Amino acid sequence: MQINRRCVLAGLGGFALGQGPLRALARTSASIGEYELVSLSDGNLVMPREFFFEGLPQEDLAEVLAGYDLPADQLEPPCNITLLRDAERVVLFDAGSGPAFMPSAGTVLEDLEAAGVAPDEVTHVVFTHCHPDHLWGVLDDFDDLVFANADYLMGQAEWDYWRDPATVDTIGEARAAFAVGAARRLDAIEDRLTRFTDGQEILPGVMAHATFGHTPGHMAFEVRAGTDALLIGGDAIGNHHVAFARPDWPNGADQDTDLGAQTRKRLLDKLAHEQTILMGFHLPGGGMGRVERDGDTYRFTGVDT
């Protein structure tokens, strides 16, 4: 497996789908068998600090965060979308925010264009879950499909949850708009969407893993070729500080905080033990790195240059 931080790519291994090689630009990338995986930016979120840290033991929290230069009022987590491609496929894992969520997000089309890929060249869009920063980018300002030629794939449990008419009334007032926005976008892609379950190979060499908690049907995806593997983790591990140092603590971004913590601990143990590369949606440096055990806890380290 070849892994590079901020490497210069030209052609993504030579696959240009008839459009010639990609022009060179800096990207965080990894090669897994015939696949090239590249981190694209969809901008960043802007969230109040208490959204993530409210209710946590403040003295212990201060100790955990002492080594990180975090703003005192709001956090701006990056949004990293994984582009996977080979000679036959151009796959996006999640669609980004689109124009309707936050002014600071929804920029993935610019990064995709810079990588030499047109939206109509995307063959598949695979969803980790249906929060706005992952789903809403399927529609443009005119409610037309952005990835007009793509097939869409989503876990069955996630689909069932967001398609349930009761969700808007049970998800809580703060997230009710998420349910309304999800329903409209799922309507738009329903005829082109395939649903899958835990353990299913959704594309050659890409297996779905149930990572419930952040949402009721959240999925992660293991891309494997022989002994080489990378896990596209979505929001199952949602930050590079508290989630690693205290994975047992509740995360305010998780819809089920207890289940989210259980999933997080399980994934971190697996990733550290197997030394599988992690691609995290809200992790720094393009989101790609390794999980290392640090005594009874963990830490996130960027990939080698």
List, for residues 42-81, the tens digit of each pLDDT value: 999 999 999 999 999 999 999 999 989 999 899 999 999 9
Calculate the average pLDDT of the chain: 91
At 27 the pLDDT is: 63
At 14 the pLDDT is: 39
Domain around 62: 2-302
Give yes or no for a contact between 150 and 120, defined as CB atoms under 8 angstroms apart: no
Q: Give me the residues of the chain with pLDDT under 70, please.
A: 1-27, 304-305
Residue 247, φ and ψ in degrees, nearest 5: -65, -15
CATH number, residue 47: 3.60.15.10
H helix or E strand, kind and range, residue 183: helix 176-189
Structural domain count, the chain: 1
90/151 Cα distance (integer angstroms): 11
List, for residues 118-140, the tens digit of each pLDDT value: 999 999 999 999 999 999 999 99
Give yes or no for a contact between 112 and 119, defined as CB atoms under 8 angstroms apart: yes
At 16 the pLDDT is: 38
From the number of C-beta atoms within 10 Å of its C-beta (0-12, 13-18, 19+), residue 108 rates as: buried
296/219 Cα distance (integer angstroms): 26
CA distances, 147 to each of 80, 92, 113, 204 (Å)? 18, 10, 13, 21
Q: Is the pTM of this model over 0.85?
A: yes
At 10 the pLDDT is: 37
At 3 the pLDDT is: 60
